[in-house]
Structure formats: C-alpha cells, structure tokens
Amino acid sequence: MSNKKPNKKLSPKHKQFCKEYIIDLNATQAYIRTGYASKNPHKTASILLTKQDIQAEIQVQLEARAKRTHITADRVIQEIANIALIKESEFYNEDGSVKYLSQLTPEQRASLTSYQFKTVKVGDDYEEVPVFRVQDKMKALEMLGKHFGIFEKDNSQSKPDAVTTIVRVYE
C-alpha cells in the first residue's frame, strides 16, 4: 500500500465521484450518483477515469478502505483458495462419520454452506447425524484460474495443447 495523501486539487464533486466509484467500481453509476448532469454519462464517466488525479484519488480511497476493513486482494484470494482446495474427505473421521463443527478448522468451517443434523434410523433407534454442504469448488477453481490468467477471455487455453504441438513437430 502506498502512503499517498488524498488529492487536495480535486473539486468536491470529483472527490465525491471517487467515493461513489469505489462502492461498486461502476463509473457510470458513480457519475449518476454524484449528481452530474449529462446526456451520455457512460462516456463522460469514462473520460473522468482517464484523468491521473482521479485515478490517484481512487487508489488512495481503495487503499484506505482495504486498511479500514482489513480486506485485501491477498485475503480474498486466500479465501477462494480455501474453498477451491478443500477436500471433502477432511470432513470425515477415520470411521467414516461426519466430523462435528468443533472438530473442523476455521478454513474448513468457512468452506461450508450448511451444516445441520438429520435424524436417521439405525436399527430400532434413531440417531442425530451431522450433514453438511460445501461451497461450489468448481466455481472457486474457475475464479482462481481466471485470476491467475490460466484461461483466456473466451475460456480457451492460452497455450497450444501438447498434442497440437507434437503433431506440428512431426509434420
């Protein structure tokens, strides 16, 4: 994080635009929420974003928010990675029974979407057994893949596959 100070050269309206922009990173909506009047807010907002003093102020505000909330890109990536890399087997004891919440690590608990007890019949008796659901692993893997540039925008591999490369070598 930088130690940049807020830009005092910006007009109050430009500063407000920057505050509105970091809410959802939508320049058009920030422009409208700031109260600018324009027939083409998308174009005018885009022009504002090209100004260096606006970009600098947005960066200062993003860094201040990260410091305030203790939420950083690294932390978000780590949470996604926890979901993507969790193994369902981690939720079971050696005897095959489901672990109780108290037996799970914070990372394991964070990867759950639900954890409840279900009544099941065992012989002549009924038992309460824990049942759980985990976050969408494939979605988390996809998010990590996109973040690290594994896929191109059209979702095809960015490098030729090995078979194509081998065929070309022997042609």
Write down the pLDDT at residue 160: 52
Write down the pLDDT at residue 6: 53
**Domain with 122 in it:** 78-136
- Asked if residue 113 belongs to a domain, the reply is yes
- Asked if residue 101 belongs to a domain, the reply is yes
Write down the pLDDT at residue 129: 86
Residues 40 and 83 in one domain: no
List phi, psi (to 5°) of 114. Answer: -155, 155
Residues 66 and 21 in one domain: yes
Please determine, for residue 171, whether its predicted confidence score (pLDDT) is greater than 80: no
Q: Give pLDDT tens digits for 111-163.
A: 999 999 999 998 999 989 888 999 999 999 999 988 888 876 655 554 555 44
Residues 117 and 99 in one domain: yes
Q: Give pLDDT tens digits for 42-85.
A: 999 999 999 999 999 999 999 999 899 988 888 899 999 999 99
- Asked if residue 6 belongs to a domain, the reply is no
Write down the pLDDT at residue 12: 92
Q: Are 118 and 129 in contact (CB under 8 A)?
A: yes
Largest CA-CA distance found in the chain, in angstroms, rounded: 78
Residues 60 and 92 in one domain: no
C-alpha dihedral, 34 to 39 to 42 to 48, nearest 10°: -60
The CATH number for 39's domain is 1.10.10.1400
Residues 64 and 24 in one domain: yes
Residues 23 and 50 in one domain: yes
Please determine, for residue 18, whether its predicted confidence score (pLDDT) is greater than 80: yes
If one compares 39 and 166, the residue with the highest pLDDT of the two is 39
Write down the pLDDT at residue 8: 65
- Asked if residue 111 belongs to a domain, the reply is yes
Specify the pTM. 0.58
SS3 content of the chain, % helix, strand, coil (to 5): 55, 15, 30
